[in-house]
Structure formats: structure tokens, C-alpha cells
């Protein structure tokens, strides 16, 4: 008599190759749908961020977030913190001036990034802080996000 494990009939016909192909295709479609849904959510978030970035002003919450990042960096013994980031597409030149180190990169800023830069010029620079902007991601080899880095280290090492 053939051996039978509990719940498994070793003599039962396995699924057909056609059934297995259909299952693989079904799972691939499910995965594609999940990816598409996640992509749409990300695009929606990016659009909402861009609208807020370009139409609204720097809020108290934005300023508090910068101060919190600085405080966390100080707590960690660092002299620099990335205090803000945004898509390079939100620069008037899509981040080219920042990526190339052009001295006039601040002229390409728009929206909240321009406001943050102006706040830096007015409030932080006179206090000895330095600000640099750099491209922090390169999806597909192209400039992605810009990071603003605030530095409070000494020029004298």
C-alpha cells in the first residue's frame, strides 16, 4: 500500500502545467498591480509636496523640523546636518547649477527652498553657520533630490 502522509495524497494528480502557468501569471499580475498602486501613491505624494513647496510658505513646523535635525546632530556629536531636501525638479534648472557647483546656484531656488535660503542668509549665516546644497540622489544617472546641509563646524581645525 502506498505511503500516505497526513493531508497529502501522494497518488493524487499534480496540478497541470497550464494551471501552474496561470498561477505564475496571476501572481505576477498581482505584484504588478501592487507596484503600480505604490507608484501612484508616491506620485500623488510628490505632487502634493510640490504644490505645498511652491505655493505655501515655510511653516513653524518646517522651522521646528530643521531645529530638531540640528539638535539631533549635535546630540550625535556632529558638526553638520541635512536639514531639508526636495526634488531637483523644483529648481528652475532642475538642479544643474547645484550639481555643477555653480556659485549662483541660489538663484535657481524656488518656493520653500528659496525661503529657507533667505532665512539662512538673514538668521543663520550671521551666527556663523554655513549652508551647502548638493544633489543627494541620482536616479537613472540624473539629479534627483537636493539636500541642504547646515554646518556649524569651525574653519580652524
Task: Tell me how crowded residue 103 is: count the other CB atoms within 10 A of its CB.
Answer: 7
Q: What is the pLDDT of residue 27?
A: 96
Q: What is the pLDDT of residue 20?
A: 94
Q: What is the pLDDT of residue 1?
A: 45
Pairing of strands 130-135, 80-87: unpaired
The DSSP symbol for 136 reads -
Q: What is the pLDDT of residue 154?
A: 83
Non-local (6+) Cβ contacts of 104 within 8 A are 97
Q: What is the pLDDT of residue 155?
A: 75
The DSSP symbol for 47 reads H
Q: What is the pLDDT of residue 40?
A: 92
Per-residue model confidence as pLDDT tens for the chain (157 residues): 455 556 788 888 889 999 999 999 999 999 999 999 999 998 888 888 888 888 889 999 999 999 999 999 999 999 999 999 999 999 999 999 999 999 999 999 999 999 999 999 999 999 999 999 999 999 999 999 999 999 999 876 5
Q: Closest Cα to residue 148, out of 96, 87, 93?
A: 87
Amino acid at each position: 500500500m502506498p505511503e500516505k502522509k497526513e493531508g497529502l495524497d501522494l497518488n493524487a494528480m499534480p496540478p497541470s502545467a497550464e494551471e501552474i502557468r496561470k498561477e505564475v501569471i496571476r501572481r505576477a499580475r498581482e505584484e504588478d498591480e501592487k507596484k503600480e498602486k505604490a507608484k501612484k501613491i508616491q506620485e500623488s505624494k510628490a505632487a502634493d509636496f510640490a504644490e505645498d513647496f511652491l505655493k505655501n510658505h515655510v511653516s513653524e513646523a518646517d522651522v521646528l523640523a530643521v531645529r530638531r535635525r540640528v539638535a539631533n546632530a549635535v546630540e550625535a556629536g556632529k558638526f553638520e546636518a541635512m536639514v531639508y531636501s526636495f526634488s531637483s525638479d523644483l529648481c528652475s534648472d532642475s538642479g544643474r547649477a547645484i550639481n555643477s557647483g555653480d556659485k549662483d546656484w541660489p538663484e535657481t531656488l524656488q518656493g520653500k527652498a528659496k525661503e529657507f535660503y533667505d532665512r539662512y542668509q538673514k538668521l543663520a549665516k550671521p551666527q556663523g553657520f554655513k549652508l551647502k546644497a548638493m544633489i543627494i540622489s541620482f536616479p537613472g544617472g540624473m539629479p534627483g533630490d537636493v539636500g541642504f546641509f547646515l554646518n556649524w563646524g569651525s574653519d580652524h581645525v
